[in-house]
Amino acid sequence: MSATRSPFNRANFQEINATARLALPLLVGHVSVGLIALVDNVIAGHHGTVTLAAVTLGTALLWLPMLVPIGTLIALTAQVAKLSGAGREAEIGAVFRQALWLALGMGGLMFLFLSLARCWLEAAGIAADVIPQTQAFLSAVRWGSPALTLFFCMRYLSEGMRWMRPTMVFGFGGLCVLVPLGYGLTHGRWGFPELGAQGLGIASASMMWLQAILFAFYLCSTTRFSHLRLFEYFEWPNLAQLRGLLSVGLPIGVAILMQGGLFIATTLLIGQLGAVSLAAHQIAVNVAQVCFMVPVAVAEATTVRVGHALGLGERTGIRRAASAGYVIVCMTQLLSASVLLFAHGAIAQLYTQDVAVIALASTLLLYAALLQLPDGLQMLASGALRGLQDTRLPMMIAVASYWGIGMPLGVWLGLGLGWGPQGMWIGLITALSVAMVLMGWRLHRSSRLPAGAGLSRQSQR
């Protein structure tokens, strides 16, 4: 077997190491974001049950539509990596400045959406006693929407240049700001007024702006990006470049929204089955989300490695980068599945002392174990396809797998046949398994570049 084709040669091990080194800071950043949600719930829960319910609902209303701009802007990572790999870094500054306009526009749309919070809450039939605090939370946190989209824009630029440390530092730094500020404003400590859920909204918006301002200052001051001249020129929006970003990024945003919406819709449907079913489901989903942070980080690192290889026009490099991601995700997800398989009962007991909830959650954690491999591998394939800037067909695959197959099957089994939460989880597993197969097939097809494809280092256009 040739050195190039062997799965165990030195070059492949080096690629695995390079991908893992990129993914580790991203994982820390994702964990920090996950801890922010946990901190919000803990602070709100200690203030009162209504405050906790308001913050939980408000966070869901914030992040569900936010998935679209976050997913859309991630196209910048692939484009920057491709230009860097092709030796065209002089063009990155102009692309970044257009991406900033796109981020501002999407942040403005988010602000308008959240300004109509009361309409969405009343239409969803939310309990009347929860609506005022939920609206207060969203009215405060909406002011951070433009800052959040700008932050992700700057983060994706840095990641496209294979510099992941800011994601880790600013993500953890935001958590350090939110904890004392959120606690003080929610509970009325250290001279702050007691504002309840509104206080957490103010603290979250303040954190978002602080992260964005500090990230912009970092990009302006560091010598690592000085050659890109990111802020040296002012440019008005360029419709052609914005269309190019949207053509690649918007399908990503829609695909991410489809997956996030699948889990949210499943939770809402299981909520019809009673408090025990909902509580057990939430435990299983929370554990699965923690496990999911690893393949998300590896997928983002793979996007960068594949995009860089695409810029070089190296078909072998593209496949090597994708294969390295697959190896890492298979190892981590099999480990996660094993932990859930052998410790499902103990994990459920960490969340509650309710015997009925523990019993059902333990069962659902076994389903979560089955979910680990297809969930991780479909995410990895999606990340590699983003690096190839192949996003439209993956979007259609996501819609068909999640909503054309998984959701109808879950509803039929869980509600129609009376299988309960177990039936809904079978729908989730089926959806992600179908997506895994189809995304893998698409990646295999897309990675077969014709000779000379991609961007050469010498090309200027």
Give the C-alpha separation, 457 to 88, whole Å: 7
Task: Say which residues have a Cβ less than 8 Å from residue 142's Cβ, sequence separation at least 6.
Answer: 110, 111, 114, 115, 117, 205
Ordered by start, the domain boundaries in the chain are: 24-237, 248-450
Within 13 A of 65's CA, how many CA atoms are on the CB side?
A: 19
213-238 burial, b at 16+ Cβ within 10 Å, e below that, comes to: ebbbebbeeeeebeebebeeeeeeee
Query: Can you give the pLDDT of all 461 residues of the chain as single tens digits?
Result: 444 455 557 777 888 888 888 888 888 877 777 777 767 767 776 777 677 777 777 777 787 778 888 888 888 888 888 888 788 888 888 889 999 999 999 999 989 988 887 777 776 666 677 778 888 888 899 999 999 999 999 988 988 887 878 888 888 888 888 889 988 998 888 878 888 888 989 999 999 999 999 999 999 888 888 888 888 778 888 888 888 888 888 888 888 888 888 887 887 788 778 777 877 887 888 788 888 888 988 998 898 889 888 888 888 888 899 999 999 999 999 999 999 999 998 888 877 777 888 899 899 999 999 999 999 999 999 989 988 888 889 999 999 999 999 999 999 999 889 898 899 999 999 999 999 999 999 998 887 754 344 444 333 33
Task: Say which residues have a Cβ less than 8 Å from residue 85's Cβ, sequence separation at least 6.
Answer: 307, 308, 309, 310, 311, 312, 455
What's the whole-model pTM score?
Answer: 0.81
What would the DSSP string read from start to end of 348-397?
HHHH---HHHHHHHHHHHHHHHHHHHHHHHHHHHHHHHHHTT--HHHHHH
Helix (H) or strand (E) holding 53: helix 49-73
Tokens of 278: 């909902």
Residues 336, 54 contacting (CB under 8 angstroms): no
Helix (H, G, I), strand (E, B), or coil: what is residue 87? coil
* Surface-to-core class of residue 121, CB atoms within 10 Å of its CB (0-12 exposed, 13-18 middle, 19+ buried): buried
